[in-house]
Chains A and B, each alone.
Chain A
Amino acid sequence: MDGTTVAGAPVPGAAAGPGTGGGRTPRWTRGRIALLALALLLAVAWLLPLAWAVATSLKPASETTKTTLEWVGSTITFEAYGEVWASGDLARWMFNSAYIAVMTTLLTVTTCAMAAYGFARTEFRGRRVLYGIVLAGIMVPPQVLIAPLFAEMVRLRLVDTYWGVILPQVAVPAMVFILVKFFQGVPRELEEAAFCDGAGRWRVFWQIVLPLSRPVLAAVAIFTFISTWNNFLWPFLVTTDPAGMTLPVGLVNVQSTYGVRYAQVMASLVIAGLPLLVVFAIFQRQIVRGVAHTGLAGQ
């Protein structure tokens, strides 16, 4: 904070006051109704493209390119969904994406959490220098890495393999940075007490520090999963065989598969977009809280 804290304990009369002050929903004044209208307008604008995609996917093939604004076709048909799902590609790409995202998330969280703990809480020669090198990695853009990394993958024979996609996504310096910040905030006394009771380093890490860090670990895991599931560029470069493609990469191929059959293209997009939206619907609160917990936006 800026140190501009206004002195003074909560005043009884002001606690339930209107505006941003009180905890309850304030009265519906004209100004608030205007704000609500604006917010609803923006919400509708944001949902429109998604609604249009779903609407198109349910139209009969002959009606997907009408030049008038029609949300519902003459009949509602799931034909397009049946067709894209029956081809089997989407299911395979989803499996690939899920496998790669889960493995990457597990490896990223484990290695980053351990490294962050090492940097935040242990002493060893070269610690500061190594941490500096890791932090510098935050600045490295993918532009610089793709060419040499690809050459490395060719040499390691990892092109068109799961590991070829997974490994380069595991070491994320930004995650280490977030976790180091968090571990530094854990009271040292807790760990010292455990040492005095005879616990070793590993036990302290697994049984005290990690359980305390569950919210931030969840946040790191969720964001790793989302970004890995959605990553396009690297899987696109390192997979050439359609059978090994991830969902985003495979989808771009759908274009050529379905030509100008819009209902089919939209149906595959809806299917592909659904998994994370469902995850979001279930974990809304955790995801939102996760952003706050990473300390990114914290004050």
Chain B
Amino acid sequence: MTTTSAVPPAAPAAEARAGTTGPVRSVRHQWTEHGLLFTAPFLLVYALFLVWPLLYGVKMSLGDDNIAGTESEFIGLDNYAEALTDPNVWSSLWNTLWFTALSTVPLVVLGLVLALLAHELRVVQWLWRLSWFAPFLLPSGVVCLLWLWMIYPSDFGLADLLLGAAGLDPDIGWLSDTRYAMLSIVLTTVWWTVGFNFLLYLAGLQSIPQHLYEAAEIDGAGPWHRLWHITLPSLRRTTFVVLVLQLLASLKIFDQVYIMTGGGPDESTRPILQYVYQAGFTGYRIGYASAVSYVFFALIVVVSLVQLRLSRRASEENDR
């Protein structure tokens, strides 16, 4: 363990300290001590509850495992062949991507707008944080039941009452009409989670150096000019982080759909995660469920790699 040939980057700094050749050697020795011990507890849990299931899932997907624990037989790629031709897989995959596309844009843009408002106004900060961030702290169960029971019911739900009060036709099947069900889930999700992006953008705004604005001010730049030429370009890194986190979160969509529509009406809102759950836990075909989830995983990996390439190219251009 201590014979690593790699020289720790600290060595030059240590050697630079004049006349301490003796201690330097022992300092270098110190850097290499106990390394594995520090990482061992994490790696143990990580191996047991992430790496192992990840690999075991591959084995499961190649067999006809059921959740009851009876002996499974190796059936090769049959599950994958079935998954690729299963219309339910494609429709739930489509629903997941559709939800992601619909939710990401308002969540990122609105998060930015709210942060700009709060940052620009500089008054009653607690009010902005409370109203926009607090919903993020509610469990999905609370949020979804609240909207399911109080906002969306027809006739007496808050959404219908407000539409009626505004003189509009309140007769909307928020969660029962295939035209609106997904939009309603997106609306709930935006209300619930925009606060996190709001907070990230607020932190990003606060770390823009003030002298940029002061210099622009001297040049006579107006508020719009400052927004376009200083604020937004400085937030590029924050936007990238927000976007990546948002995409990852949206692709995991489950709670809202499961609690509010159960995937309906007509399976029009059922996401891939719910289909995996149904196949494995209520349909008892856990091997098939694994195969479906690996098809999805492969897709995510491909998307992530493309994203990584794009971001690397973008940051190279930045450094130039």
B-binding residues in A (CB < 8 A): 1-6, 8-11, 14-15, 17, 19-21, 25-26, 31-32, 35-36, 38-39, 42-44, 46-50, 52-53, 56, 64-69, 107, 110-112, 114-115, 117-119, 121-125, 127, 130, 133-134, 137, 139-152, 154, 167-168, 170-171, 173, 176, 188-189, 192, 195-196, 200-202, 205, 226, 229-230, 232-233, 237, 247-249, 251-252, 254-255, 262, 265-266, 269, 272-273, 276-277, 279-281, 284, 287-288, 291-292, 296-299
Contacts and interface: CB of A to CB of B under 8 A. Distances in A.
B300 A141 contact: yes
Interface stretch (B80-88, B98-106, B153-161, B177-185): B153-161
Given A196-B23, A299-B208, A123 B4 contact: yes
A193 B165 CA distance: 70
A11 B214 contact: yes
Contacts of A49: 135, 146-147, 150-151, 158, 191
B201 A297 contact: yes
Contact of A251 (B43, B145, B155): B145
Given A43-B128, A67-B161, 5 more contacts: A39-B114, A192-B14, A233-B254, A288-B203, A299-B204
A251 B141 contact: yes
Interface of B: 1, 4, 6, 8, 10, 13-14, 20, 23, 26-27, 30-39, 41-43, 45-46, 48-54, 56-57, 60, 65, 67, 69, 114, 117-123, 126-135, 137-142, 145-147, 149-151, 153, 155-156, 158, 161-162, 164-165, 191, 199-204, 206-218, 223, 226, 231, 233-234, 236-238, 241-242, 245, 248, 251-252, 254-255, 259, 272-273, 276-277, 280-281, 286, 289-290, 293-294, 296-297, 300-301, 304, 318-319
A280 B137 contact: yes
Given A35-B121, A46-B131, A48-B158, A125 B56 contact: no
Given A6-B212, A201-B30, A17 B67 contact: no
Given A50-B135, A151-B67, A196-B23, A298 B203 contact: yes
B43 A151 contact: no
Given A21-B210, A35-B120, A118-B38, A201 B33 contact: yes
B294 A151 contact: no
A269 B142 contact: yes
Given A14-B218, A247-B139, A272-B142, A284 B67 contact: no
A151 B60 contact: yes
Given A114-B38, A145-B57, A230-B140, A21 B214 contact: yes
A254 B87 CA distance: 34
Contacts of A67: 155-156, 161
19 contacts: A2-B233, A14-B218, A20-B226, A35-B120, A42-B114, A114-B41, A151-B60, A154-B67, A167-B48, A188-B13, A229-B139, A232-B141, A237-B281, A255-B145, A277-B138, A284-B126, A287-B199, A292-B207, A299-B234
A141 B250 CA distance: 11
A234 B6 CA distance: 41
Contacts, number: 357
A92 to B, nearest CB: 15
B38 A133 contact: no
A171 B156 contact: no
A186 to B, nearest CB: 11
Contacts of A35: 117, 120-121
Contacts of B56: 148, 151-152
A122 B27 contact: no
Contacts of A168: 49-50
Contacts of A237: 277, 281
A232 B126 CA distance: 28
